[in-house]
Structure 1
Amino acid sequence: MSEAKKTLSKRIGYPDYVDENCWLATTLGYPPAKRCWYCELRFRHCPFTQYLGVSLALTLISFLVLYLSRNTITRAEVFVVFILVLSYGYFSTRSTEKIIEANFAERKTRIALEEAKASLEGKIGQRTKDLQAMTQSLEEEVQVRTRELQEKVEELEKINKLAVDRELRMVELKEKIKELEKGTGEDK
């Protein structure tokens, strides 16, 4: 098996994952149950340990009650107690595995969601910077164009003033010509 596959399979959620916090898993060198693939709890918090403690307590209490009531325990009674403990263990294991797998899936989803959120925040930040830069660029371009237009307006106003002044001068000159024509016409 390649080193990459070994590393990948040693991650949580894979069959070769060994919880370093769990005394039992590290001692055995492998996960003792499927639920251990997803577990990061210490041994004393492990559902398996809790099951063992409850089973041992139920077994001892049952045998103690049976022994104290009749001073003897039959094989049938031992068989019934062990059947009860095993069925308790079976249902406890099934429900615990489902809960642990659901918690693991929820944790993976939450991590993926946080990564996606961080990625989107980064993209939004970059996009905001880009938009601010474009806005600044457009504002500068608007200022340049406004100055150019103001210069052209001033130039057109000068040309207009010159044209108006020329027209006024032409009107004056026409009046002078008319006066001069009248003056030369009267002299004759």
Structure 2
Amino acid sequence: MNILSPGIYLTNRLRFPAKFVVLAIIIVIPLIVLGLRVFNSLNASIDTVAQERVGREYLQMTTPVLRFSMLQRAASNRLLAGDASAAQDVISNRAQLETALANLADIDARQGQQLETENRVQRLRESARSLMDSIKPGLSQDDVFAQWNEQLAQTLNFIYYVSATSGMVLDEDYASLFLIDLSTIRMPRKSTLPVRSAASRQV
């Protein structure tokens, strides 16, 4: 018995309008399924792009925090080394670091739940303030420098965390992934290397 016999028998007994309806159903159902899959895929891509956009906003706000933290580390090192002119740099840079942290806290209040940052920004802000408040004449340069290195490490960890929760490190486009890896991991890590000799030369 031919496997197509039931189909042939059915089509032979159907009128032409009914045959067209059956053929239409056979063609339309796969198209509908395929269309739904494409639609869901596009929606997923849109959600991913929106998530990555939030991640980029976070990184734009975190970059100044990283930069001013490095400057504060250098200024504090100069101050503890006996450079009186560094006192004004410490004060002015602290104001800029506080502003950068406030901007980061502002976006975290709006978008933190989406990236599950919890209280990471608050901890980062409090530890930076505590460290800046603790700078006093007579403290060990090595200890303070090490504490700032730890603060910078925590800032970098936050960058890595946001890059992961926003999906930026999972980008399917290789060119985009390379740029994301370069801007969120490699360059920040290189820029925060504790080059003590360079800081000492500023004294």
With structure 1 as the length reference, what TM-score do the two structures score? 0.34
> Which has the greater radius of gyration?
1
With structure 2 as the length reference, what TM-score do the two structures score? 0.31
